[in-house]
Amino acid sequence: MKRRTEHLAEGVTLHLADCRDVLPKVGRIDVVITDPPYGRTTHAGARSAKSLTRSQIDFRPISAAELVETCQSLCAIAERWVVMTCEWQHAAALEAADVPLVRLGVWVKPNAAPQFSGDRPGMGWEAVAILHRKGRKRWNGGGHHAVWHCPVERGGHPTQKPERLVTDWLQKFSNPGETILDPFMGSGTTGVAAVRHGRRFVGVEIEPRYFDIACARISAALKQQDPERRRA
């Protein structure tokens, strides 16, 4: 893979790279909001109504050990929160490992795909791991529970997260002007939400086809904002 960096605007930088190569060079950031790959079994079992024999997911899974190591790196560079969707098996691995898991939340998906095989209940939710380095914690959510009800949205990525969901995380866990990092950027939903709500953004994506989609989506979002933030 040929690495590439795009500076889309002041405070908006995207890297085509393996995040493990980029994180040591990123420096301090404020908040991480991301959606890492899930495990091999989950990826292999992701079917659709059109194909019950072939997985919808066409990118590399991540092991529990790899995710734990990445979370340790993220907590080391994040001033505050690290918020990520993850499969429950990986959430259990985070709980057992030496990472500062503050709360395990839930994203409830009212329009989630059914269990197409019909031989067991379907999964209508995803875990949300919420981490924070030791020390004082602050967020903008008051007494809000770590439970989010939000419909699934379809887009240019097989596991694209709803912008509405990511926007709520941005508003609850970060403040305008802060720098948001997404080390598993995918098609760029976190970046789109960040630029629309006055955050700086650093994104990393390893798959060229999704990196290109992210560049296009975030560039379009920038054009809708203040003209001074548009790319020259």
Give tens-digit pLDDT for 176-187: 999 999 999 999
In Å, how far are 77, 85, 88, 188 from 102, measured between CA atoms? 17, 14, 15, 26
Kindly tell me if the per-residue pLDDT of 115 is higher than 80: no
Integer Cα distance of 156 and 161 in angstroms: 11
Strands (E), the chain: 4-9, 12-16, 31-34, 81-86, 101-108, 125-132, 147-149, 179-182, 200-205
pTM of the model: 0.88
User: Among 3.30.450.40, 3.90.1150.10, 3.40.50.150, 2.40.50.140, what is the CATH number of 4-229?
Assistant: 3.40.50.150
Q: Is 181 helix (H, G, I), strand (E, B) or coil?
A: strand
Which pLDDT does position 160 carry in this prediction?
Answer: 84
Which pLDDT does position 119 carry in this prediction?
Answer: 85
Domain spans, the chain: 4-229
Q: What is the mean pLDDT of residues 194-199?
A: 97
The residue with tokens 């203040």 is: 226
Tens-digit pLDDT profile for residues 64-94: 999 999 999 999 999 999 999 999 999 999 9
